[in-house]
Amino acid sequence: MCAFKSVALGFYNHLQRREEVTIDMSIRTKCYQLKHCTYDCSYHIVWTPRYRGKVLGDAYIKQELKRMFKQIATWKGLTLYAWHIGDEHLHLYIGIPPKYSAAYIIQVLKAKTSTWIKKRTKKFPKGALWGRGYFVSTVGADEVAIKKYIRNQQHHQVSMEQMKFL
């Protein structure tokens, strides 16, 4: 039997109170609570710009993407745990309430950020900024490993000049 200890966040999502809950178990886990459910739905999401171009290298674009992610997270009641915006792909570690599917949230994130970035910068041609696909994975017991992986992404990036082809 789990003992629940709730801590109010003071966050209202569509007039429903969202609370952070700590479950007393061998591993301390953060859960969230809506009116009729307690949940911990965390995802690791990765997607790329169209044609895998290195178009995300500009500091202004990275700053705008982070700002947009925060705004969308507030709007939809998401929790951003970690992110990395590389030159040709981005990683998000995000908590999504169970009332939304991961596919819907990815659609919203990609659509809103694409429209906003293309309006603000005028660098990109007409059409989609983001590629059609994405990677999504649930995050369970390896939460610390996923956070570390995302934070160390810049160390994993290898330029084409550094790669040695056999």
User: DSSP characters for the chain?
Assistant: -PPEEEEEEEEEETTEEEEEEEE-SSS-EEEEE-SS-EE--EEEEEE-BGGG-S---SHHHHHHHHHHHHHHHHHHT-EEEEEEE-SS-EEEEEE--TTS-HHHHHHHHHHHHHHHHHHHH--SPSS-SB-S--EEEE--TTHHHHHHHHHTHHHH---TTT----
Q: Output the pLDDT for position 73.
A: 95
Q: pLDDT tens digits for the chain (166 residues)? A: 333 333 323 333 333 434 443 333 334 357 777 778 887 888 999 999 987 778 888 888 899 999 999 999 999 999 998 899 988 899 999 999 988 999 999 999 999 999 888 888 877 778 788 999 999 998 875 667 777 777 787 665 555 444 444 4
Q: State the CATH architecture for 41-156.
A: 2-Layer Sandwich (3.30)
pTM confidence score: 0.68
Q: Enumerate the domain spans of the chain.
A: 1-39, 41-156
